[in-house]
A and B are shown apart, each in its own frame.
Chain A
Amino acid sequence: MLAHLPILQVIVPLMAAPACLLLRRPKLVWLFTLLASALAFIISILLLQQVMIAGTISYELGGWSPPWGIEYRVDKLNAFIAIIISGLSTLVLLASRTSIEKEISADKHTLFYILYLLSLTGMLGIVTTGDAFNVFVFLEISSLSAYSLIALGKDRRAIWSSFQYLIMGTIGATFILIAIGLMYQMTGTLNMADLATRLPEVAETRTVITAYAFFIVGVCLKLALFPLHLWLPNAYVYAPSIVTAFFAATSTKVAAYLLIRFTFSIFGLSFSFTTLPMGTLFLTLGLLGIFVASTVAIYQDNIKHVFAYSSVAQTGYMIVGFSMATTAGLSAMLLHMFNHALMAGALFLALAAVTYRVGATKISDFQGLGRQMPFTMAAIVIGGLSVIGVPLTAGFVSKWHLVVAAIGKDWWVVAGLLLLGSLLAVIYVWRIVETAYFKAPMTGKDSVEEAPMAFLFPIWILASANVYFGIDTRLSVETATAAAKGLFGVAP
C-alpha cells in the first residue's frame, strides 16, 4: 500500500465524492466526508515522511512510463502543500455540519459535501501530479466545484460573485491551456520533468516566452495577485461561511504552488528571472498588492471583507518572497503559505461562528462580542495578531524570514515597506478589537451566546497552532527550507 500513496492521496477523496450519493442520510454523509478528508491528511503526512527519507517519489499511472504515460511526482514541496490542504480541509469539516444548518437549505446538504470532496480532490490532484495537462484537468475539477460551492450562499450576491469568478477563472484556465499547448508544440512532451530537460534548448524562442507569459497570467488570476484579484473579496464574503474558511486557507496556496513549480522546476531559474524581468515585475505587484489591499481593508464595513482583502495582501507578501529568487526568499514564501493557512483558517472559522450566532458580520454586529463570545473573539484576536506579525505568533515568524531574506539581498527599502504593511494591518485589526471589547452590545442583540463546540474545537486547534508555530518554529521552518533547497537543486 505504501508504494501507492501518491495516487491514494487523490483517489480517496475522488471516489468518496460519488460514494456520498449512495449514502442516504446527511449526517452519515458528513461523517463519511470527514473520514475521507482525515484519511487524505494521514496519507499526506506519510508521504512527507517517505519523501524526507527516500527523496522524490515517482509513480507511473497505468504502468506506462513517462512521458508516454502520466506520472505522479512527489517531492518535499508538494508533500508540504498537500499536508496544508488536507489538514485544513479536515479541521474545517469539523465545524461544517453545524455551520451549514443555518446557511444552506437541508435538501442541498449532501450535494454540499460531494462538492467539498471534489474541491479537495481537485486541489490535491493539482499538487501531486507530474504531468502538465493533468494539472489543467484537476484545475477544472477544483474550479467547477468552487463556483458551485460559492453559489450556495444565501444572499443573491453569492450567485453574482460565483458568476464573475467563473468568467475570470475560466479565462485563466484557458490561458493555462494555451500555455500548455505552446509548450507541447515546442518540446513534444507534457511531462513536467521532461519539459524541464527539453525547454532550455528552445527557451529563447518567442513561442516559449509567450507560453510563460500566458501561464503566469492564468495562474495569477487564480492566485488573486493584484490587479487580478477582483473576484476574490466578493466570493469570500457571500459564499457560505464554511466554504470561505476552506478556500481562504487552501485555494490560493495551490495557485502559488503552480507558480513555484512551473517557474523553478520547469521553466527554470535563469529563464524566468534573467531572460525575463519576472523578479522586478513580481516585486512591484506584490508590494502594490500589500498596500492597496491593506488600505482597502481598513475602510470595509463587513469584517469578512476586511479579512478577504487582508488575504489578498498576504498573497502580496508571498509574491515578494518569490520575487527574490533566493533560497531564503522562497522558504520565507513557503513558510508564509503554511502560516497564512493557519491564520486564515482560524479567522474565517471564527467568522463562521459569529455568522452562526449573530447572523451577519458587519462591524456593528461585533459590538460587545468580546464579552458575549469570549472564546471566538479571543481566536480572532490571535489570528489578527498573527496577520500583523506580532512576536510569538506564526505570522511573525514568516514576516521575520521575509525581512531577513530581503536584507540578505540588500533590499533595505523593501524590508522597510514590508514592516510598513504590518502597520496598516494594525489599524484594521484594532478596529475590530476596539468594537468587540470596548463597546456595549447593540439593543436587541443581548442574547448572543458563545459558539457551539463544533466550532470552538477546530477554531482553537488552529488558534493554538498559530501560537505554537510562532514559538517552536523548527518543524515548519525546516520543512520549508528543505523544500526550497530541493527546488534550487533541481532547477538548471
Chain B
Amino acid sequence: MTMILGLYNYWVVIVLMMIGFYMIIAHGNLIKKIVGLNIFQTSVFIFYISVGNIEGGSAPIWDESIILYSNPLPHVLILTAIVVGLATTALALALIVRLNEAYGSINEDEIQAMDNQDMVNHSLSNQHRDQEPC
C-alpha cells in the first residue's frame, strides 16, 4: 500500500508521457505532433520536479525561519530544459510554416505522398531520357 502511495505520482507522470509520445507518432497533423512533443517534454519536467520534492520542505529560497528546503538542483535542470523545449518548438513551428508554403499541406501523409509522386515522376522521365539515342 505504501508502495502505491509512494509511487503513484510517477505512474501518473508516465501516463502523461505516453500520451504525448503517442501523439507524436500517431497523428498525421504536424502541429499536433508538436503539441504531443510538448506534452511529452513537460511530463519529463514534472518527473524531475517530483524527484526533487521533499515532504515537508518548502521552496528553496532562504529564510531564517525555515529548516527544510526542497532540493533546488532539479529545479535548475528543468529551467534549462523548459528553455530548450521552447527553442525546439519555435524551430519546429518555423519548419511547419515553410512546409506549408512548399507543399500546401501540414499533414504527414500528404507530404510523403507528394514526395513519393515526385520520385515516381522523376524516374519516369529518366527512363524516357535513357531511351533516347545519345
Genuine A/B complex: yes
- Give the bracket for the number of chain B residues in contact with chain A: 35 or more
Instruction: Given contacts A151-B98, A174-B40, list 11 more A-B pairs with CB under 8 A.
Output: A156-B103, A157-B115, A157-B118, A160-B103, A162-B95, A171-B24, A177-B81, A178-B44, A362-B126, A364-B126, A440-B134
CA distance A167 to B47 in the complex (A): 21
| CA distance in complex: A121, B82 (Å) | 21
Within 8 A of B (CB), among A143-161: 144, 147-148, 151, 156-157, 159-160
Contact residues, A110-149 vs B (CB, 8 A): 133, 136-137, 140, 144, 147-148
* Total inter-chain residue pairs, C-beta < 8 Å: 77
Contacts of B37 in A (CB 8 A): 167, 170-171
B36 vs chain A, min Cβ distance (A): 10
B134:A140 contact, CB within 8 angstroms:
no
List 5 tightest A-B contacts by C-beta distance, closest first.
A156-B102, A163-B95, A185-B51, A140-B84, A159-B98
Residues of A participating in the B interface, judged by any CB pair closer than 8 Å = 133, 136-137, 140, 144, 147-148, 151, 156-157, 159-160, 162-163, 166-167, 170-171, 174, 177-178, 181, 184-185, 190, 301, 362, 364, 440, 442-443
User: Which residues does B use to contact A, with CB under 8 Å?
Assistant: 21, 24, 30, 33, 37, 40-41, 44, 47-48, 51, 73-74, 77, 80-81, 84, 87-88, 91-92, 95-96, 98-99, 102-103, 111, 115, 118, 123, 126, 129-130, 134
Contact A163 B99 (CB under 8 A): yes
The complex places the Cα of A184 from the Cα of B73 at a distance, in Å, of: 10
B95 partner, pick from A136, A159, A181, beta carbons under 8 A: A159
A–B Cβ pairs within 8 angstroms, 5 of them: A151-B98, A159-B99, A163-B92, A171-B37, A178-B44
| Whole-angstrom CA separation of A464 from B80 in the bound complex | 44
Q: How far is the CB of A172 from chain B (nearest CB, A)?
A: 12
A339 to chain B, nearest CB (A): 33
Docked complex Cα distance between A177 and B80 (Å): 12
**Which residues does chain B contribute within 8 Å of A177, judged by CB atoms?**
44, 81
